[in-house]
Structure 1
């Protein structure tokens, strides 16, 4: 019942997003010039396959998409980048959520609670956390992720039995559920300053004793609940690249399907080491962001 409510809610959000996107594309169909932009469409298509494959593995899609769009010079205006990242990846992320909720067994109340916590956290974060010193938070989050990854690795080797052996839980209850809700609330809030939810959510779910595969429906459904509303605002403000969005959406759908099959058929030990690698990589990225000095504004 709860899973049906979650899927129904995500479905309504998807329809809300698609309504604005399709209406906007129809309104600007004459300016799209698809025939003249075939090369850009093809480039965006392959970017979508690659980045949403990575996203489905838990690496995230925003950073690699931004890098590839810059490398290929496929973006005409950098100011459209935030909107393009959100709008182009909303449908692939929704697909990730639908697939993993349907395929991976998760205790429904745990899934529902953590999704709601992340959504509420992002709402609160947009009004509070976004005013905090961004670089300090990124730096300390990076340190925390690397420490967590080391602990995960030691536990995987049987060197930290105190943390529990064999992650098989499909849900949380009692104090662990409270910790999970608070954690995902914080991760949702931190998204407003560019700290992605995937890596810390993966680490938290694992450290609370749940099956590593359970992290995927939780983190993807959390983000799927956040993205449609934000993306609709970018569409309404005409602040995204339509050509890149079209290509990335279609390529991204293919990337998600390939990666979802790959992930759900992986040996759990291999999956844990992939998660550890993702968490370490994310930690390094956050530390670098935290240490990077702001460039002086030019007049």
Structure 2
């Protein structure tokens, strides 16, 4: 069954790659004016952290905004499109090396994918002000979850590698919601880790579940963002290529790293970005559609 799951993931990755490369090639002479060097560095660093379990969405959003490498409105789409290929690679790695009960794995992967598909169609059409507000709140919640894990407020989990009954239903519903929130720029890792712990599963199981969920949902969500043009093409291409290198460096070469210190730094950056996003949303005064029509006339 695992071979079938991985084969489907490979097909999804191929489908996304074709759509993404076709769109990038079509607009190669209309790329954004951000820096190839800067977005490549951001892609490498964030994917390096991602493979270590720290996550890339929060750090990616923070760095893109801090270094002014993307318009706030298209950051959600950029994160989904840019990290799609790297996360698929991570999905292959972790679903292969860590065992999860088949029904639980398939159920949670499916629910997250459906949630992302339905969510992307809404998020890609939201205004900059709404995106700023959603991301500000989402990043703040992510920081709180990370902080709770660091100070020991979150449950330590159990030994189970699968779920059944009401716990499985809760997991499926929760992962559906987390999949939809992924399209708003909130990473699934920390919430999924919390979900696994609260349901009494082994902490190790969180890795194939969260990487697998993201690997399946991101191609579906990302294709919609690509078709809407709601993403930064240059940053996404850098994340997709240079970012993969960061994953292999973190996975295969790094033996010891002060993860604890890095996590505290990430929490600080995420909180800063959350506050910055919320302040921008409060200051952003959108022009009513009827006024826009008058100006265009």
Aligned residue for 2:23, secondary structure, equals helix
* Aligned partner of residue 230 in structure 1, secondary structure: helix
- Give me the TM-score of the superposition, normalised by structure 1: 0.72
The alignment partner of 2:173 has SS state of helix
Instruction: Spell out the pairing of 1:142-181 with structure 2 (5 A cutoff).
Output: 145=145, 149=149, 152-153=152-153, 167-181=158-172
Q: Tell me the distance in 2 between the aligned counterparts of 1:99 and 1:244.
A: 24
**What residue in structure 2 maps to residue 19 of structure 1?**
18
Separation (CA, whole Å) in 2 of partners of 1:137 and 1:209 = 27
Q: Is the 8 A contact 1:145 1:280 kept in 2?
A: no
Using a 3 Å threshold, how does the CA distance of structure 1 residues 187 and 238 change in structure 2: closer, same or farther? Answer: closer
Does the 8 A contact of 1:32 with 1:243 survive in 2? no
Query: Within 5 A, what are the aligned runs for 1:73-92?
Result: 73-75=68-70, 79-92=73-86
Secondary structure in structure 1 of the residue aligned to 2:38:
helix
Residues 123 and 242 from structure 1, CA distance in 2 versus in 1: closer, same or farther, beyond 3 angstroms?
closer
How many pairs align?
Answer: 278
1:100 partner SS: helix
Structure 2 unaligned residues grouped into runs of 5+: 288-297
Change (3 A) 1:168 1:148: same
Q: If the length of structure 2 is used for normalisation, what is the TM-score?
A: 0.72
**CA deviation after TM superposition for structure 1 residue 255, in Å:** 1.4
Query: For residue 226 of structure 2, what is the aligned residue in structure 1?
Result: 235
Task: Summarize the Cα distance change of 1:215–1:282 in structure 2 as closer, same or farther, 3 Å threshold.
Answer: farther
Q: Secondary structure at the match of 1:106?
A: coil
What is the root-mean-square deviation in Å for CA atoms of aligned residues? Answer: 4.3
Select the residue among 56, 62, 65 that pairs with 1:67.
Answer: 62
1:151 shift after superposition: 8.8
Do the aligned partners of residues 182 and 280 (structure 1) sit closer, same or farther apart at CA in structure 2, a change above 3 Å counting? Answer: farther
What is the CA–CA distance in structure 1 between the aligned matches of 2:162 and 2:266, rounded to whole Å?
A: 21
Query: Deviation digits for residues 202-251 of structure 1, max 9, x if unmatched?
Result: 01112322221211111122122222123223333444333323322222
Residue segments in structure 1 that go unaligned for 5+ positions in a row:
157-163
Partner of 2:293: none
CA distance in 2, matches of 1:286, 1:15: 33
Match of 2:292? Answer: none
What SS does structure 2 have at the residue aligned with 1:58? coil
CA distance in 2, matches of 1:143, 1:70: 17
Task: Please tell me whether residue 186 in structure 1 is matched to residue 177 in structure 2.
Answer: yes
Contact 1:52 1:61 in 2 (8 A): yes
SS in 1 for 2:283: coil
Which residue among 29, 43, 47 is the counterpart of 1:48? 43
Structure 2: distance between partners of 1:203 and 1:103? 21
